[in-house]
Structure 1
Amino acid sequence: MPSRTTLHAWLMLTPALVLLIGFTHYPAVATLWHSFFTTPRANRPARYIGVENYTALADDPVFWQALWNNLIYAGATIPLSIGLALAMAVWVNGKLQGRTALRIAYFTPTVLPMIAVANLWLFFYTPDYGLLDQITRALFGWGPTNWIGQQETALGAMIVIAVWKEAGFFMIFYLAALQAIPPNLYEAAAIEGASRARVFLRVTLPLLGPTTLFIAVNAVINGFRLVDHIIVMTRGGPDNATALLLTMIYDLGFRFWDTATAAALTVVLLVILAATAALQFAFAAKRVHYR
């Protein structure tokens, strides 16, 4: 017979467990299960086909293009957004005039809906009349550039938007961590005559380890999840230049109604994310200083 304390604890946990199982664990298991079947139709029920959906993905050049694009997209957005967030946090943590307004300005992109962000950047990227073309014409004399309409620049344009959207969010975590560092550590470093660069590398950066690990895990997830602006602006084009795994899942599941292949691709994406997170905790956690 469970004790009253144990029963009370389970009663408190039950609402969260129901939501976690119903909206996280069950959908993941169901997706894995459906990936081994064909897509059901009105007059044709789903049929077990084993790993054929996975072999079809392996033979699909669009899948490999989307995977390669996603690796470039994540490989660029993760370090850029983290580095920019850290630089902004250090900047607004100092004693400067108007730092509250500066913090708000840095954080503002985070609270904007991604659909609104996409439409805003559509104006920036408009050939000839857009803000970016106006700047490049004034500074370098460049002609009109279709930033999101040509393969050479489309993915880079999407990366810029993602970094702009994410950096302010990560900055808040870094700013909170910086303000939690005891001032006496900096006083001791000053007495020892350490330079500002050495203090940052030997004191600040190690103490930001837990925050950096947390931000890195979230940045990896966002590197594969943050695709709303791509769906709005390019739909994976031109010629799959901005197609990512999640945009491909969206197309397969909701445009072509091939839910079985979409489920298989979702499982592949989950495996990639789980393996990346496991590697981060296995290697980065050893360098994290909690005290």
Structure 2
Amino acid sequence: MGAQKEAPRTAISQHAVHAWLLLLPALALLIAFTHWPALATLVDSFFSTPRGSRPGVWVGAENYQVMVEDPVFWQAVRNNLWFAGATIPLSIGLALLMALWVNEHLRGRALVRMAYFTPTVLPMIAVANIWLFFYTPQYGLLEQLSAALGLPSHNWLGDPRTALACVTLVAVWKEAGFFMIFYLAALQTLNPSLKEAAAIEGASRWYYFRRVQWPLLMPTTLFVLVNAVVNAFRLVDHVFILTRGGPDNASTLLLYHLYEVGFKFWDTGYAAAITVVLVVVLASVALFQFFVLDKRVHYK
């Protein structure tokens, strides 16, 4: 009897060892490139920036105090909130409209889908350079259209009133096609009988979308929303190419400010403090969306 009991235990142990060996490569990469850098950044935020042969020393919360008193940081926070408030609803709404359109039986549907998705596969630097040509004063596409309509010339990226809006437009154009793919996949999983039943009952297309499609798309919307929030606070490529945060920090976003502090001014302690705050805020938003909103998005 004892030998019979030991045999299942040995088999379970072998399965457990086999499972851990399969997980080990991915787990090692996750720890080396995610958890360990995050922990090291947290520790560095409490130390001063090392200079030459002088190592960093413990300064406590001094880097966080510098961050609170930094006007450029708060300007970047305001800019990023405005940027997120514009890009998130616009990109999600546009993605949903495009998905509904290309989900219908229309001529050239594959070509239209490809056209909508093309901006997503383009490198972010390439996208920024394309739009940089559009915004170029006197020679850009927008300037040519303005001249044709008899409107005065305008420096779109050099005006504090329009610089951030121009960056926002580029981000929406880049992200909408990516989010469209998720909505399109969700639409294609809906039971066709729902649409047929709605048509038999005489429901309009708007009523069918509002009462049937939209509630069933809420889990997809939550997933897209999480990605949109993260993307809104990690944009740096477009700002670097288009405006470099100018003019007068009018288009500086948090991640670009972090880049300048860490790699331009080489203040790694202060940069680590900004990183910790940014990660904590984004993690809190993601946890709230998944553990609070997730319970409200499933249609029953």
Q: Does TM, normalized by the shorter one, top 0.5? A: yes
Does residue 217 in structure 1 map to residue 230 in structure 2? no
Query: Which sections of structure 2, spanning at least 5 residues, go unmatched?
Result: 1-9
C-alpha distance after superposition, 1:164-202 (max 9, x if no partner):
000000101111110111101111212222111111011
Select which of 91, 95, 112 maps to 2:101. 91
Alpha-carbon offset, residue 136 of structure 1: 2.8
Alpha-carbon offset, residue 281 of structure 1: 2.2
Opposite residue 16 of structure 1, the aligned amino acid is A
What does residue range 108-257 of structure 1 map to in structure 2 within 5 Å?
108-139=118-149, 141-257=150-266
Alpha-carbon offset, residue 42 of structure 1: 1.1
Opposite residue 224 of structure 1, the aligned amino acid is F
Does residue 277 in structure 1 map to residue 286 in structure 2? yes
Does residue 75 in structure 1 map to residue 85 in structure 2? yes
**In the alignment, which residue of structure 1 is the partner of 2:5?**
none
Opposite residue 23 of structure 1, the aligned amino acid is F
**In the alignment, which residue of structure 2 is the partner of 1:264?**
273
C-alpha distance after superposition, 1:53-106 (max 9, x if no partner):
000010010010001001011111111000000000000000111010000000
Q: Distance in 1 between matches of 2:299 and 2:38?
A: 32
Q: Is residue 114–residue 228 contact of structure 1 (8 Å, CA) maintained in 2?
A: yes
Select which of 95, 101, 112 maps to 1:102. 112
Select which of 50, 64, 75 maps to 1:54. 64
Q: Distance in 2 between matches of 1:21 and 1:290?
A: 37
Alpha-carbon offset, residue 290 of structure 1: 6.5
Does residue 286 in structure 1 map to residue 258 in structure 2? no
Q: Is residue 93–residue 178 contact of structure 1 (8 Å, CA) maintained in 2?
A: yes
Q: Distance in 2 between matches of 1:184 and 1:6?
A: 45
Query: Which sections of structure 1, spanning at least 5 residues, go unmatched?
Result: none
Does residue 37 in structure 1 map to residue 47 in structure 2? yes
Mark the structure with the bigger radius of gyration.
2
TM-score by length of 2: 0.94
Q: Distance in 2 between matches of 1:39 and 1:235?
A: 24
Alpha-carbon offset, residue 284 of structure 1: 2.3
Does residue 8 in structure 1 map to residue 18 in structure 2? yes
TM-score by length of 1: 0.96
Root mean square deviation of aligned Cα: 1.3
**In the alignment, which residue of structure 1 is the partner of 2:3?**
none
C-alpha distance after superposition, 1:127-169 (max 9, x if no partner):
1211112223334x21111101110000000000000000000
Q: Distance in 1 between matches of 2:30 and 2:225?
A: 23
Q: Is residue 240–residue 256 contact of structure 2 (8 Å, CA) maintained in 1?
A: yes
* Of 225-234 and 160-169, the range deviating more from structure 2: 225-234
Q: Is residue 128–residue 143 contact of structure 1 (8 Å, CA) maintained in 2?
A: no
Q: Is residue 235–residue 253 contact of structure 2 (8 Å, CA) maintained in 1?
A: no
Alpha-carbon offset, residue 286 of structure 1: 2.4
Q: Distance in 2 between matches of 1:8 and 1:136?
A: 66
Alpha-carbon offset, residue 287 of structure 1: 2.4
Q: Distance in 1 between matches of 2:25 and 2:265?
A: 36
SS at match of 1:3: helix
